[in-house]
Amino acid sequence: MAGLAGGRHCWIIRQSSWLSIGDLERLAAPVTLVLDDYHLISNPSLLECVAHLVEHLPATLCLVVSARSDPVLLLARLRARDEMTEIRAARLRFTDDEAAELLNGTLGLALAQEDIDTLQRRTEGWAAGLYLASLSLRGRPDPSRLVRAFAGDRPGRRLPRGRGARRAAGRRSLVHDADFIP
């Protein structure tokens, strides 16, 4: 999607056709527009276009902006008008109890509390990180050993480099024998 801002009008280009805010107002059903990785946008014209869209958002459009930092928008004004809902990273993270329920309850791993705490700390409570760690732990006879490896607590062990790397890779499981790199 590319955008051009010009005066009071903001045009959105989609598949070689022009779409105006007026066109969005006439939509028969509500639409949600998701702008992911918004922090990567640096084009001033596009930033201006999105700001204009936010200020003149039609009732038929729900705008979702996902960014790693506050977007270049008039957030204070939107907050004051109660026109936006913010979901910050802290609200998306699992609590310690939620992590324990996921790992031991839902996924049935039967991990020690110390292991859950370690995984919670290393993944910063992100559901995807906890789930991926659980995939590595499932069916392991000693999951604590792998959790310690995931925690980076095994100094000196690294993947082989150079000529021996290919030969060693054929004999080893990366997940089982290698340190995890955060």
Kindly report, residue by residue over 20-73, the tens digit of the pLDDT.
778 888 888 888 989 999 999 999 988 988 898 898 888 888 999 999 899 989
Residue 178 confidence class, pLDDT cut points 50, 70, 90? very low
- Tokens describing residue 171: 């004999």
Instruction: Tell me phi and psi for residue 61, to 5 degrees.
Output: -120, 130
pLDDT at residue 28 in the model: 84
Please answer whether residues 47 and 84 qualify as being in contact, where contact means their C-beta atoms are separated by less than 8 angstroms.
no
162 or 142, higher pLDDT: 142
Mean confidence (pLDDT) of the chain: 78
Does 168 score more than 70 pLDDT? no
Does 118 score more than 90 pLDDT? yes
What is the domain partition of the chain in residue ranges? 2-86, 92-177
pLDDT at residue 176 in the model: 35
pLDDT at residue 27 in the model: 84
Percentage above 70 pLDDT, the chain: 72
